[in-house]
Amino acid sequence: MADSITKRQADIVRAIVKGYVITGQPIGSAIIVERLISNVSSATIRKEMSVLEQMGYLFSPHTSAGRIPTDRAIELYIDEMVNLYEDSLDSISELEGFYKTANMQVDKLMKVTAQQLANSSQNAGFVLTPRAAGAIINRIELVSVTDNMILVILVSRSGTIYQKKIKIENTHTQEDLYKISRYLNQLLKGYEIEDIKEKGLACFIDSSSDLGNLGDTAMQVAQSLIYMPPDQQVLLEGEATFYKRLLDEHPDTKQAEKLVNILDDKEFLIEYLNSLKSNKRINVSVGLDVDGIHLSGISILSCGYSVGGRNVGSLGVIGINRMPYENIIRSMDYSSEILSNVLKETGELDFNADIKLKIGNLPERLSG
């Protein structure tokens, strides 16, 4: 697990984390010897537990000999599990069946993936959508909200939906907005937003086109879409269950309430989840560091999904420390491969087509 910890100490940490995840109670030396590590005496276990407490891996909430794992112990335990984890065809058959029968479009696939992760963890599941800046435009739709406010809907080639409200200078009917949408689609469909931004809108759009007085609005919409693209979204499912468990089980009610308020801020959450991205297969963050203060009691597991070998988003679980990590890692691993498999078909993907047409391309290790 770590260079500073011996194999025996690692076994004890692993045993205590396992016991704590199941019971939620401090784990004593007698339980470890009886159920988990039978070839070592209770006295030796107690001595090692004291050392591990000094090292910051364990914590004693009472004067009894029982210990609970700290954030450091849980993080090391999850890292070790990820490194040792191997997929089992039998154990993921339920997930495979779920995705094969899913009759939905890409944006709904992401939402249901978040729901599936919430179900497997009994906490909150999330999918962080790709950034709009790298999206390839498949369709643009404009919908009137008020006289001078419209909703711009961008559908990327991958099927991801982005939405943004903008204020326009002129008032137009919905029929006018249809005309502007058709004009923008003719000129911009198939181009990546970043590419349009780099070349400049003047290469694509002529405000003096046959749109007449609608041309200025078309340019205004395009400028807003290209130079200030819609915000990235986090699709979060199961947060009510997670918040309730956090408030019920956290030993510090004020800290639990603070965590709920922080995580309920979607802008902060998107920024934080983006900061977790790395080259690791699964990123682990136990506890939350905010303004120089470490808030304990939660674990965040995330992994990326990719297009053409480039990570475009992430998915994972946010929950209390007592979670079924094996099930979660399995679900995250499989969901990541499914999303990547679907999104890599961007050159052929029809937004109106059913995803089940693309799920046939399962990872090789799942098709045997």
Return the structure tokens found at 191: 């181009």
Q: Where do the domains of the chain lie, and which CATH numbers do they carry?
A: 7-83 (1.10.10.10), 88-130+232-366 (3.30.450.40), 133-227 (3.30.390.60)
Q: How do residues 328-351 score in pLDDT, each as one tens digit?
A: 988 898 888 888 877 765 433 333
Confidence of residue 352 (pLDDT cuts 50, 70, 90): very low
What single string gives the DSSP state of each residue in 249-307? H-S-HHHHHHHHHHHT-HHHHHHHHHHT--SSSSEEEEEEEETTEEEEEEEEEEEEEEE
Tell me the pLDDT tens digit for each residue of 125-146.
999 988 787 788 999 999 999 8
Give the tokens for residue 16: 């205590």
pLDDT in tens, 191-228: 888 888 888 888 887 655 678 778 889 989 999 988 88
Secondary structure (DSSP) of 41-66: -HHHHHHHHHHHHHHTSEE-SSSSS-
Query: In whole angstroms, what is the distance from residue 346 CA to residue 343 CA?
Result: 6
Q: What is the pLDDT of residue 276?
A: 84
Q: Write the pLDDT tens digit of every residue in 150-182.
A: 999 998 887 778 888 999 988 899 999 999 999
Task: Compute the average pLDDT of residues 260-278.
Answer: 89
Q: Tell me, what's the pLDDT at 95?
A: 62
* Mean pLDDT score across all residues of the chain: 81
pLDDT digits (tens, 9 = 90+) for 74-129: 888 887 777 665 544 444 556 666 666 555 567 778 888 899 899 989 999 999 98
